């Protein structure tokens, strides 16, 4: 049997190469109705633009059908259809390759280059908890998720600032945000001794305001560094205070002192010092952060040459709530939903305390992170999104996580009772038993209008059982999803960076929807009859893979799996 992890990216790359020079045209199918007949498609209009008379040469079709290579999924057939060139994989072989190495698909793809060194700065965490706005909370959650994704992909990440407010630390723990803490401000002596000669006195010989050490003309800094692109034109002078120096001192310490011997280099934007500072800010904080960037460059010769801003869009809600009030609201709604479902009050039950805490954090994180961070977020405060019946919430994802745990606990209990045999070696499983959903029969082929089209209609497909949907849309692409989540679009010139932190939440919601639909249709633990065990074990191995992927995805959000709800 062939070894090595299959990849969607590797397969698409090989398919496009097989068509010859030109722009990529193949794409992966994701919709269930299309996956009944094909897995990849090269659309007809794109092929007509590439090939004379729109006719794909026969040798090209044969080359695609016989495609092989590292990471390339085995091909069953490639045939022209009215939609374009359709390709279907050898699904039993793909099941065998993927489900025989489940742990490999619950981890990110190996990076092509050493991971970056990133100082991830979230200024919202310097304030008091009671003043934390929803837009700032969004920035905190984006920074936490991005830090986890970057580390999972091999990056070395320093988080700034260390949180000093004990109430803020408790709040972050409730939300499962992993952030360092400190009891004192960073020492500013080194910075204070360096720049005093650089600071300008008050204009017109007047005195400086109390607590102000001097002023810096930031427009001069922009001109010196040639970095005006992206900066607010109103950025001018900056009043240097002890508090500002304390902020810079902490950033300076993070850049100069890295724990351990982490990987060096910066794949996205190479620097002599091998480090990038990424400031994750709310839109209200960006102007002040721009001034701080320029001041850092002015006062510290060793400041990273690359500083980028990831600006989170505003959060709009019907009521003006602080972040703690928002958490309390969601926690109360989670408790209420559980009481309605169970028929009794559970908020005081110690066995449910942790469950409600995780559900509250999951609800908030999925709400805050399911929209691209740069976009405006509209927050619905009603409790309709808390129910496990809804399909767009963190509660729904955690509910299906618990369903998977219950399924495997049920199998374990039945095995202990002697109803089912022990799980056999994965290498002995027959994954062709998962192919009952594929029933499209292609007829004989005859050329029609320059295209080889079927002379008879394919047989109508049976209702899909969902196994291929779970594997092809859930398990197989997950390593590449992890890599995309950790990707920072910061190589372009200018101040701003973008990140796709919404991808993981959307993926987990869709995976939960596909699993829920499958689980509601298919009885996994059937009657204890020997002739049914083969299919049962194949299905259990598939759902083991789904569980591993689900747990790995939740880990990038800082959420532990739940065993019951």
Q: Where are the domains of the chain?
A: 8-89, 323-379, 394-436+465-557
Contact 471, 542 (CB under 8 A): yes
pLDDT band at residue 405, thresholds of 50, 70 and 90? Answer: very high
Contact 302, 272 (CB under 8 A): no
Residue 88 pLDDT more than 90? yes
Read off the pLDDT of residues 273-302 as tens digits, 9 standing for 90 and up: 578 999 999 999 999 999 999 999 888 888
pLDDT value at residue 369: 95
**Mean pLDDT score, 433-445:** 47
Q: Which long-range contacts (CB under 8 A, 24 or more apart) does 334-339 make?
A: 334/359, 334/360, 334/363, 334/386, 334/395, 336/383, 336/386, 337/383, 337/386, 337/387, 337/388, 337/395, 338/565
- 351-386 burial code (b ≥16 CB/10 A, e <16): ebeebbbbbbbbbbbbbbbbbbbbeebebeeebebb
Phi-psi category of residue 72: left, alpha or beta, with phi > 0 → left and psi -120 to 50 → alpha:
beta
Least reliable range by pLDDT among 54-68, 99-113, 322-336:
99-113
What mean pLDDT is reported for the chain? 84
What is the DSSP pairing of strand 445-448 with strand 306-312? unpaired
**Mean pLDDT score, 540-560:** 96
Read off the pLDDT of residues 335-376 as tens digits, 9 standing for 90 and up: 888 877 776 667 677 778 889 999 999 999 999 999 999 999
Read off the pLDDT of residues 124-146 as tens digits, 9 standing for 90 and up: 999 999 999 999 999 999 999 99
pLDDT value at residue 437: 46
Residue % of the chain over a pLDDT of 90: 55
Residue % of the chain over a pLDDT of 70: 83
Q: Which two tokens stand for residue 79?
A: 């045939």
Read off the pLDDT of residues 90-113 as tens digits, 9 standing for 90 and up: 999 999 999 999 999 998 876 666
pLDDT, greater one: 377 or 486: 377
Instruction: Tell me the C-alpha distance between 25 and 41, whole Å.
Output: 8
pLDDT value at residue 441: 35
Phi-psi category of residue 466: left, alpha or beta, with phi > 0 → left and psi -120 to 50 → alpha:
left
**Mean pLDDT score, 477-482:** 93
pTM for this one?
Answer: 0.87
Instruction: Tell me the C-alpha distance between 346 and 509, whole Å.
Output: 26
Fold topology of 394-436+465-557:
Isoleucyl-tRNA Synthetase; Domain 1 (1.10.730)
**Mean pLDDT score, 77-87:** 93
pLDDT value at residue 390: 59
pLDDT value at residue 341: 76
pLDDT value at residue 184: 65
């Amino acid at each position: 049997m062939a070894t090595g992890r299959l990849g969607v990216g590797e397969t698409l790359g090989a398919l496009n190469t097989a068509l010859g020079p030109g722009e990529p045209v193949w794409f992966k199918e994701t919709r269930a109705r299309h996956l009944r007949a094909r897995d990849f498609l090269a659309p007809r209009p794109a092929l007509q633009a590439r090939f004379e008379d729109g006719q794909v040469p026969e040798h090209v079709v044969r080359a695609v059908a016989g495609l092989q290579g590292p990471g390339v999924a085995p091909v069953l057939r490639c045939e022209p259809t009215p939609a374009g060139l359709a390709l279907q994989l050898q699904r039993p072989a793909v099941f065998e390759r993927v489900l025989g190495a489940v742990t490999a698909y619950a981890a990110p793809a190996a990076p092509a280059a050493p991971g970056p060194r990133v100082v991830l700065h979230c200024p919202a965490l310097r304030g008091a908890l009671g003043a934390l706005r929803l837009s700032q909370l969004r920035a905190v959650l984006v920074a936490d998720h991005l830090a986890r994704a970057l580390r999972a992909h091999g990056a070395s990440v320093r988080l700034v600032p260390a949180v000093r407010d004990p109430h803020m630390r408790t709040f972050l723990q409730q939300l499962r945000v992993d952030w360092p803490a400190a009891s004192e401000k960073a020492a500013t002596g080194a910075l204070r001794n360096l720049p005093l000669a650089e600071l300008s006195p008050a204009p017109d010989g007047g005195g400086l305001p109390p607590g102000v050490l001097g002023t810096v003309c930031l427009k001069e800094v922009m001109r010196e560094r040639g970095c005006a692109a992206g900066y607010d034109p109103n950025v001018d002078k900056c009043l240097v205070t002890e508090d500002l120096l304390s902020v810079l001192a902490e950033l300076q310490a993070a850049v100069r002192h890295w724990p351990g011997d982490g990987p060096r280099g910066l794949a996205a934007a190479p620097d002599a010092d091998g480090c990038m500072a990424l400031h994750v800010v709310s839109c209200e904080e960006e102007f002040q952060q721009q001034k701080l960037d320029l001041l850092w460059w002015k006062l510290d010769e060793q400041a990273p040459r690359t500083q980028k801003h990831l600006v989170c869009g505003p959060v709009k809600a019907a009521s003006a709530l602080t972040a703690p009030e928002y958490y309390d609201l969601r926690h109360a709604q989670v408790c209420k939903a559980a009481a309605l479902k169970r028929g009794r009050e559970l908020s005081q039950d110690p066995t449910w305390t942790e469950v409600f805490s995780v559900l509250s954090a999951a609800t908030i994180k999925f709400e805050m992170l399911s929209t691209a961070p740069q976009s405006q977020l509209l927050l619905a405060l009603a409790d309709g999104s808390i129910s496990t019946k809804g399909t767009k919430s963190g509660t729904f994802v955690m509910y299906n996580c618990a369903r998977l745990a219950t399924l495997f606990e049920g199998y374990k209990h039945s095995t202990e009772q002697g109803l089912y045999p022990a799980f056999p070696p994965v290498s002995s499983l027959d994954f062709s038993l998962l192919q009952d959903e594929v029933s499209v029969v292609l007829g004989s082929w005859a050329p029609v209008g320059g295209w080889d089209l079927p002379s008879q209609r394919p047989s109508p497909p049976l209702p899909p059982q969902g196994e291929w949907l779970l594997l092809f849309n859930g398990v197989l692409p997950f390593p590449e999803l992890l890599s995309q989540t950790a990707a920072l679009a910061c190589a372009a010139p200018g101040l701003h960076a973008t990140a796709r932190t919404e991808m993981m939440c959307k993926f987990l919601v869709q995976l939960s929807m596909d699993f829920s639909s499958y689980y509601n249709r298919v009885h996994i633990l059937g009657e204890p009859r020997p002739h049914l065990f083969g299919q049962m074990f194949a299905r259990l191995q598939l759902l083991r893979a789904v569980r591993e992927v689900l747990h790995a995805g939740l880990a990038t959000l800082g959420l532990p799996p739940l065993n019951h709800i």
